[in-house]
Amino acid sequence: MLDRERLLAAYDRQVRTAEHSRLPPGVRAEADGPIVRVVGWDHGFISPPADLGLEGADLDALIRRQRDFFALRGQEVEWKLRGHDLPPQLPKRLQAAGFRPQPQEAVLIGLAVEMAAPGVELPARVRIREVALESDLRRIEALHSAVWGDDRSWLANDLIARKGASPQDLRILVAEAGEQVVSAAWVELNPGTEFAGLWGGSTLPGWRRLGIYRALVAARAQMAVGAGYRYLQVDASPDSRPILERLGMVQVTTTTPYVWAPEGPGPALQAPAAG
């Protein structure tokens, strides 16, 4: 039986650090008091510790500094808030500074070795393969735009940059039916931690409930186990959470992006779909 408190402590200690380490060229991490600010994407990202250790005017000043820093750059910024983060008034103070909460997801953790068993037979026409060519990443980009119903034109460039920075630590998979990409997902290996992250699990509506998502989880789990990782972690949507919990993952907290955007149209945040 997985110990949720122990898993959450390991997550706070290891996964949060991995968020702002080993960044691609041109992207840098800057400390500002207790938080780390990631700069260099076409959006900003704030990675906080579990306890900021600030309240009142000091907390408000920290939040305003992040907002104003990216306002001068004309960029959106995401503050990634977990459900157990302190102080308790942080969500209210973020909203008072103009940050708006986005849909909440569940942070799930499971044992990689237990999730690596195939346990499902794919439809006859479907095959899974690992990809790295830009042409395939553009096809994944098109898939995500179709699944999520918005503009994901940033996705291929994001994957290209991350793959170029650390090719052995980002493994990208597609499920294809003939020439059509029907699902795609990737696993991010985080050296120096026990955790590999599952990201991007998206399947076209007509190809769901056929075991494709489960097969992509197993394939990525096998990659993680082969590379020596103990745990898989995912920020799960309401759709993927029940599947992953049936596979043995447990929820340790939640995650909610709080986003501030400058007035007028701006770039969409480059947040990969989870799962």
Query: What are the pLDDT digits (tens) for 108-127?
Result: 999 999 999 877 789 999 99
> What integer pLDDT is reported at residue 267 of this predicted model?
41
- Mean pLDDT over residues 159-179, rounded? 93
Q: Which CATH number fits domain 110-253: 3.30.1360.200, 3.30.950.10, 3.40.50.150, 3.40.630.30?
A: 3.40.630.30
Q: Beta 44-47 vs 180-189: how paired, if at all?
A: unpaired
Q: Residue 246 in 3-state DSSP?
A: helix
What is the pTM for the complete model shown?
A: 0.90
Are 159 and 170 spatial neighbours (Cβ–Cβ below 8 Å)?
Answer: yes
Query: What are the pLDDT digits (tens) for 4-31?
Result: 999 999 999 999 999 998 788 889 999 9
Q: Phi and psi at residue 181, in whole multiples of 5°?
A: -80, 115
> What integer pLDDT is reported at residue 275 of this predicted model?
65
Lowest mean pLDDT across 38-47, 114-123, 261-270? 261-270
Percentage of the chain beyond pLDDT 90 is 81
- Mean pLDDT over residues 149-153, rounded? 86
Query: What are the pLDDT digits (tens) for 211-247?
Result: 999 999 999 999 999 999 999 999 999 988 999 999 9
What are the structural domain ranges in the chain? 4-104+255-260, 110-253
Show the tokens assigned to 198. 């599952």
Show the tokens assigned to 43. 């959006």
